[in-house]
Amino acid sequence: MISISGLLGQLFAIALALVLAPLLTGWVNQCRAVLQSRSAPPLLQPYFMLHKLFRKDVVMAHSASSLFRTAPFVIFGCMLLACAIIPSLSTDLPFAPAADMLALVGVFGLARIFISLAAMDIGTSFGSLGGRREMLIGFLAEPALLMVIFTTAMISQSTSVATIVETLAHRDFIIYPSLAFAGIAFTMISLAENARVPVDNPATHLELTMIHEAMILEYSGRHLALIEWAASLKLYAYSCLGLALFFPWGIAEKDNFLGLIGAIPLLLLKLGIGGFVLALIETVNAKMRIFRAPEFLGTAFLLAVLGLLVRLLLETRV
Amino acid sequence: MPPLISIDVLLIAACAWLAIGLAGMLAPRRLEFISKTLFPFGSVVSFIVGVTALFFLGDEPQATVLAIGLPTLPFHLRLDNLAAVFVLLLGFVSFGISVYAAGYFRKGEGAAPGLLCIEYHLFLASMLMVLLADDAYAFMVAWEGMALSSFLLVTTDHRHEAIRRAGYLYLLIAHVGAISILLSFGVMTGGAGDYTFAGMRAQELSPFWGSAAFLLALVGFGAKAGLVPVHVWLPEAHPAAPSPVSAMMSGIMLKTAIYGLLRVCFDLVGTTIWWWGVVAMAIGLVTALFGVLYSTVQSDMKRLLAYSSIENIGLLAVGIGLALLFHSFHMEILAALAMTAVFYHCLAHAGFKSLLFLCTGSVLHATHERSLGRLGGLIHRMPWVAWLALLGVIASAGLPPLSGFVSEWLLLQAFLFSPGLPHSWLNMIVPVAAAVIALVAAMAGFAMVKFHGIIFLGQMREPNLIHAHDAGPWERAGLVWLAVLTVLLGVLPSTLIGLIDGATQQLLGTGLAGRVAEHGWAMLAPISPDRASYMPMLFLATIATVLLLARWMVRRFYHGRTRRSDAWDCGYFFQGPRAQDTAEGFSQPIRRIFEPMFRMERHFPSIRDEQPYYSVKVEDHFWYWLYLPVARVADWVSGLIVRIQGGRIAIYLLYSFLTLLLLLLVARP
pLDDT at B108 over 70: no
Question: Residue B533 and residue A136: Cβ atoms within 8 Å?
Answer: no
Amino acid at B48: I
- Give pLDDT, residue A69: 93
Where is average pLDDT lowest: A229-238, B251-260, B587-596?
Answer: B587-596
Question: pLDDT higher for B667 or B583?
Answer: B583
Using one digit for the tens of pLDDT, what is the confidence trace for B433-454?
Answer: 888 898 999 999 999 999 999 9
Q: Name every chain A residue with its beta carbon within 8 A of the beta carbon of B441.
A: 142
Contact A9, A89 (CB under 8 A): yes
Q: Which of A70, A135, A215 to mutate to test the interface with B (most CBs of B within 10 A)?
A: A135
Rounded to an integer, what distance in angstroms lies between the CA atom of residue B504 and that of residue B341?
A: 10
Query: CA-nearest residue of chain A to B424?
Result: A313
Mean pLDDT of A212-237: 92
Residue of higher predicted confidence among A144 and A7: A144
Domain count, chain A: 1
Nearest to B550 by CA among A227, A277, A94, A11: A227
Question: Which of B457, B532, B589 faces A159 most closely, judged by CB atoms?
Answer: B532
Which of B289, B452, B570, B597 to mutate: most A Cβ within 10 Å?
A: B570
Residue A276, φ and ψ in degrees, nearest 5: -65, -45
Beta carbons of B554 and A106 less than 8 Å apart: no
Question: Residue A308 above 90 pLDDT?
Answer: no
Cα of B343 to nearest chain A Cα, Å: 20
A74 lies in some domain: yes
**β-strands B62-69, B74-79 pairing:** antiparallel
Indicate if B209 and B334 belong to the same structural domain.
Answer: no
pLDDT bin (cut points 50, 70, 90) of residue B635 is very high
Number of domains in chain B: 3
State the ipTM, two decimals: 0.94
Distances from the Cα of B439 to the Cαs of A98, B394, B443, B502, in angstroms?
Answer: 24, 16, 6, 32
Report CB contact under 8 Å: A113, B580: no
- Please, which residues have CB within 8 angstroms of residue B529's CB and are 6 or more apart in sequence? A97, A160, B519, B523
Q: Do B445 and A135 touch (CB under 8 A)?
A: yes
φ and ψ at residue A190, rounded to 5 degrees:
-60, -40
Please state, for a pLDDT cut of 90, what percent of chain A lies above it.
Answer: 49
Q: Which of B555, B571, B588 is the last residue of a domain?
A: B555
Query: Is pLDDT of B490 > 80?
Result: yes
Q: In this structure, are B159 and B235 located in the same domain?
A: yes
Contact B581 A128 (CB under 8 A): yes
Are the beta carbons of B457 and A73 separated by less than 8 Å? Answer: no
Separation CA B57–CA B359 (nearest Å): 31
Q: Which residues of A touch B521 (CB under 8 A)?
A: none
pLDDT digits (tens, 9 = 90+) for B109-142: 667 888 889 999 999 999 999 999 999 999 999 9
Q: Is residue A275 part of a domain?
A: yes
Burial class (CB in 10 A: 0-12, 13-18, 19+), A317: exposed
Per DSSP, the three-state class of A171 is coil
CB A163 to CB B561 under 8 A?
Answer: no
Instruction: Indicate if the pLDDT at residue A22 is higher than 80.
Output: yes
Q: Which residue of A has its CA nearest to B378?
A: A65
Residues in chain A: 318
pLDDT of residue B524 exceeding 60: yes
Q: What is the DSSP letter of B229?
A: T
Best to test chain A binding among B562, B563, B588 (most A CBs inside 10 Å)? B562
**Average per-residue pLDDT in chain A?**
88
Does residue B314 contact residue B285 with C-beta atoms inside 8 Å?
Answer: yes
Other Cβ atoms closer than 10 A to B613: 8
Q: What's the average model confidence in pLDDT over A287-315?
A: 87
Residues of A with CB below 8 A from B554's CB? 54, 222, 226
Q: What is the pLDDT of residues B354-377, one digit of tens each?
A: 999 999 999 998 998 889 888 988
Looking at chain B, the whole-number percentage of residues with pLDDT higher than 90 is 56
Nearest CB to B575 within list A64, A109, A124: A124
Would residue B608 count as lying in a domain? Answer: no
A213: closest chain B residue by CA = B570
Q: Is the pLDDT of residue A288 over 90?
A: no
> CB-CB: which of A62, A207, A294 is closest to B566?
A62
CA-nearest residue to A14 within chain B is B546
Provide CB contacts within 8 A for B601, sequence distance 6+.
B615, B616, B617, B619
Q: How far is A41 from chain B (nearest CA, A)?
A: 24
**B446 contacts A139? CB cut-off 8 A:** yes
Q: What's residue B29's pLDDT?
A: 82
- In single-letter form, the type of residue at position B635 comes to D
Spacing of C-alpha B150 from chain mean position = 14
Question: Min CA distance, A296 vs chain B (Å)?
Answer: 13
pLDDT band per the 50, 70, 90 thresholds, residue B619: confident
* B279/B175 same-domain check: no
pLDDT score at B71: 82
Residue A173's pLDDT is what?
Answer: 63
Instruction: Kindly tell me if the per-residue pLDDT of B424 is higher than 80.
Output: no
The amino acid at residue B225 is A
Residue B13 lies in a domain: yes
Given B538, B543, B590, which is nearest A74 (Cβ)?
B543
Interface with B, mutate which of A57, A78, A79, A128 (most B CBs under 10 A): A128
3-state helix, strand, coil in chain A (%, to 5): 70, 0, 25
Of B445, B570, B577, the CB nearest to A139: B445
- Mutant choice from A66, A75, A125, A254 vs B, greatest count of B C-beta within 10 A: A125
Identity (one letter) of the amino acid at A136? L
pLDDT score at A318: 43
Q: How sure is the predictor about B539, in pLDDT bands with cuts at 50, 70 and 90?
A: confident
Say how far residue B344 (Cα) sits from the centre of its chain. Answer: 13
Question: In angstroms, what separates the C-alpha of A83 from chain B's closest C-alpha?
Answer: 12
Worst-scoring range by mean pLDDT, B1-5, B300-304, B385-389, B545-549? B1-5
pLDDT digits (tens, 9 = 90+) for B228-270: 889 999 999 998 899 999 999 999 999 999 999 999 999 998 8
B412 and A154 within 8 Å at the Cβ level: the answer is no
In a domain, B583, yes or no: no
Domain annotation covers residue B587: no
The alpha-carbon radius of gyration of chain A (Å, integer) is 19
Long-range contacts of B30-38 (CB under 8 A, 24+ apart): B30/B113, B30/B114, B31/B105, B31/B106, B31/B107, B31/B113, B34/B105, B34/B113, B34/B114, B34/B116, B34/B117, B35/B101, B35/B102, B35/B103, B35/B104, B35/B105, B35/B113, B36/B102, B38/B117
CB-CB under 8 Å, B397 with A77? no
With cut-offs at 50, 70 and 90, classify the pLDDT of residue A315: low
Is A213:A127 a contact under the CB 8 Å cutoff?
A: no
Phi, psi of B77 (to 5 degrees): -125, 150
Provide the number of CB pairs (under 8 Å) joining chain A to chain B.
276
Residues paired with residue B10 on neighbouring β-strands, in sequence order = none
Q: Which residue of A has its CA nearest to B594?
A: A294
Closest residue in chain B to residue A84, using alpha carbons only: B542
For residues B362 and B321, membership in a common domain is answered with yes
Domain assignment present for residue B603? The answer is no
Q: Decide if A217 and B569 are in contact by the 8 Å CB cutoff.
A: yes
Considering the domain architecture, whether residues B305 and B234 belong to the same structural domain is answered as no
Could you tell me which chain A residue has the CA closest to the CA of B437?
Answer: A143
Residue A41 confidence (pLDDT) above 60: yes
The predicted structure's pLDDT at residue B287: 95
**Residue B14 C-alpha, separation from nearest chain A C-alpha, in angstroms:** 41
Question: Cα separation of A101 and A182, whole Å?
Answer: 15
pTM of the shown model? 0.94
Query: Of B449, B545, B563, which has the smallest distance from its Cβ to A116's Cβ?
Result: B449
Q: What pLDDT shows up at residue B434?
A: 86
H helix runs in A86-122, sequence order: 101-121
In a domain, A182, yes or no: yes
Would B572 be classed as within a structural domain? no
| Alpha-carbon torsion (A24, A26, A32, A35), positive or negative | negative
Please, what is the average pLDDT of chain B? 90
Residues B294 and B206 in one domain: no
| Three-state SS letters, B276-300 | HHHHHHHHHHHHHHHHHHHHHCCCE
Q: Which one of B372, B569, B572 would you mutate to disrupt binding with A, by most A Cβ within 10 Å of its Cβ?
A: B569
Nearest Cα of chain B lies from the Cα of A24 at a distance, in angstroms, of 21
Q: Write the residue in A106, A139, A163 that is nearest to B405 by C-beta.
A: A106
Is A98 in contact with B539 (Cβ distance < 8 A)? yes
Residue A318 lies in a domain: no
CB contact under 8 A, A294 and B428: no
Distances (CA, A) of A42 to A28, A148, B174: 11, 36, 69
Radius of gyration of chain B (CA): 26
Of the listed ranges A66-75, B290-299, B529-538, the one predicted with least confidence: B529-538
Distance between CA atoms of B505 and B604, rounded to whole angstroms?
Answer: 58
Parent domain of A216: 4-313
Cβ <8 Å between A77 and B562? no
Domain encompassing residue B44:
1-240
Alpha-helical runs (H) found in B190-300: 197-202, 207-225, 233-240, 243-248, 254-262, 274-296
Write the Ramachandran bin of A130: left for phi over 0, alpha for psi from -120 to 50, otherwise beta.
alpha
Chain B residues in contact with A315 (beta carbon < 8 A): none
Taking only the tens place, the pLDDT of each residue in A80-128 is 999 998 988 888 788 888 888 899 999 999 999 999 999 999 988 888 8
Residues B228 and B285 in one domain: no
Annotate B66-131 with DSSP letters as a single string. EEEE-SS-EEEEEE-HHHHHHHHHHHHHHHHHHHHHHHH--TTSSS-HHHHHHHHHHHHHHHHHHH
Helix (H, G, I), strand (E, B) or coil at B33: helix
Of B397, B409, B562, the CB nearest to A60: B562
Mapping DSSP to helix (H, G, I), strand (E, B) and coil, where does residue B24 land?
Answer: helix
Q: Is the residue at B255 inside a domain? A: no
Q: Do B580 and A123 touch (CB under 8 A)?
A: yes
What is the per-residue pLDDT across B156-169, written as a single tens digit (0 to 9) for each?
888 888 899 999 99
The whole-angstrom separation of Cα B549 and Cα B554 is: 8
B contacts of A60 (beta carbons < 8 Å): 562-565
Are A154 and B431 in contact (CB < 8 Å)? yes
